[in-house]
Amino acid sequence: MANGENQNPNPNPIEATPGAAARTITLKTADGEIFEVEEAVAMEFGTVKSFFEDDAVSATKPMPLPNVSGSALSRVITYCRRSLEIRSMIPPATSEDATAAEAVQGEGDLEAEKAAKQERKEFEAEFLKDESNEDVKELILAANYLNIKELLDFLCRSVALRIQNKSVEYARKFFGIEGDYTPEEEAQIRQEYAWAFEGVDED
């Protein structure tokens, strides 16, 4: 599914063929890679969406993404494509407020949602399986810059899961944070936060 990458230095202009193949949008990453992405997928990126909604921007030049690397963008595109597919499994809700609509959803809607949730769970588990912490951070920064709420939520959830229930030293090592408390300071903190550190071994 790697047809979003195109190493051609002469990017194709946007195809405006009415009714035929989907329009594509061209993006250029910080390291010079060119990506042609289906419009529907590219519009998931809040940054891209506003860029093209702002008056008549030239649609023929590739949009520069100076804060995103090629490898990150490739992963992001994969995620958004799959996410769009899964979302199309559910009939459109009549409103933005998900919690409200939940109470009054019909049986058919609920079944479709359950199936979609299951697919999303499996897909997300697979997606980050082999990613290193460096990669995850890069993805977070990319998702943040591109303003993709769903991907950012997912990544933050995953980071929270990775650091949950782990010891302090593990968390520090895992994220490369240097603990800079003096022993006295650390003792002070443990006292200040005794109510939160109950039952936890010092390590």
Q: Which stretch binds other proteins (CB under 8 A): 1-9, 47-55, 82-90, 129-137?
A: 129-137
Could you tell me the smallest distance in angstroms from the CB atom of residue 197 to other proteins?
7
Contact 70, 4 (CB under 8 A): no
134 lines the binding site for other proteins (CB under 8 A)? yes
Q: Is the CB of 18 or the CB of 92 nearer to other proteins?
A: 92
Whole-angstrom distance, CA of residue 58 vs CA of residue 14: 10
Residues 76-106: b if buried by 16+ CB within 10 A, e if exposed: bbbbbbbbeebeeeeeeeeeeeeeeeeeeee
Number of residues binding to other proteins, judged by CB under 8 A = 51
What Cα–Cα distance (Å) separates residue 78 from each residue in 3, 8, 65, 186?
10, 20, 17, 44
Q: What count of other Cβ atoms lies within 10 Å of the Cβ of residue 142?
A: 24
Could you tell me the smallest distance in angstroms from the CB atom of residue 136 to other proteins?
8
Contact 77, 35 (CB under 8 A): yes
**Footprint of other proteins on 178-197 (CB under 8 A):** 178-181, 185-186, 189-190, 193, 195-197
Could you tell me the smallest distance in angstroms from the CB atom of residue 115 to other proteins?
17
**Footprint of other proteins on 75-114 (CB under 8 A):** 94-95, 97, 99-101, 103-108
CA 148 to chain centre: 6
List residues binding other proteins (CB under 8 A). Answer: 94-95, 97, 99-101, 103-108, 132-134, 137, 140-141, 144, 152-153, 156-157, 159-160, 163-165, 168, 171-181, 185-186, 189-190, 193, 195-200
